[in-house]
Homo-oligomer: A and B are copies of this chain.
């Protein structure tokens, strides 16, 4: 992976690659955020496709640069389709990112997230601290999709968990944390209004999906993707009158993001 000093340049480079290559990002995601995350991906420069039928997910993921799995409004049938697509992605070497929305809140969600981790090769898991913690053995009481644990509590557990799950974890909160168990990076960009709009977490996941399609290093893809998203959030927040104008400004900001700007504004640090 890039050293911490290389990440700002890498952020700019990855954004340029997405705009140039327009990678197809295959999403099997929840009903609440389908429209918004598709628009987030388009504004960033990627090509989103949403497809969940068992009869086509394997074919679709073969056309895609990466696969986004999000269990926000899961049913058994949808999780089956996620596993089907994920297995095919694993065989083809396509990177997978998992968003375990609400894991820890209900047994069904925790089990679904763990099943996907067990049956496919997930490159990155993006969640809030309580969702991430629920993937390990620690009893982590969930409460809907809200973060009940601070990011700080999660640092050590996350590193151990990343190692045991053999994946990269992106724990988002006031300050984001990305770790693969050996290395860790923090990203301090962001804006308070990001928590006042539904689907910003899911959008961060989708954007990391786009970054994974152009950057083979999960740690770097997750960290640079989060930096871009959070910087756009800062810009959107500067002139927002509330969560409505914020969510619209965020799409505009992602679309207008200049590579040199994200390099300059990014605030990476070692964890």
| Contacts from A to B (Cβ < 8 Å) | 22, 24, 30-36, 38-39, 42-43, 47-56, 59-60, 63-64, 72-76, 102, 105-109, 143-146, 196-199, 240-245, 247-256
Contact = CB atoms under 8 A, between A and B. Distances in A.
Given A24-B144, A32-B34, A49-B102, A247 B39 contact: yes
A35 B199 contact: yes
B146 A47 contact: yes
A76 B247 CA distance: 34
A43 B244 CA distance: 8
6 contacts: A31-B31, A48-B198, A55-B76, A55-B108, A242-B252, A244-B248
A252 B248 contact: no
A222 to B, nearest CB: 24
A60 B107 CA distance: 10
A243 B50 contact: no
A198 B252 contact: no
B244 A249 contact: yes
Contacts of A39: 197-198, 243-244, 247
A260 B135 CA distance: 44
Contact of A56 (B30, B108, B198, B250): B108
A138 B73 CA distance: 37
Contacts of A248: 244-245, 247-248
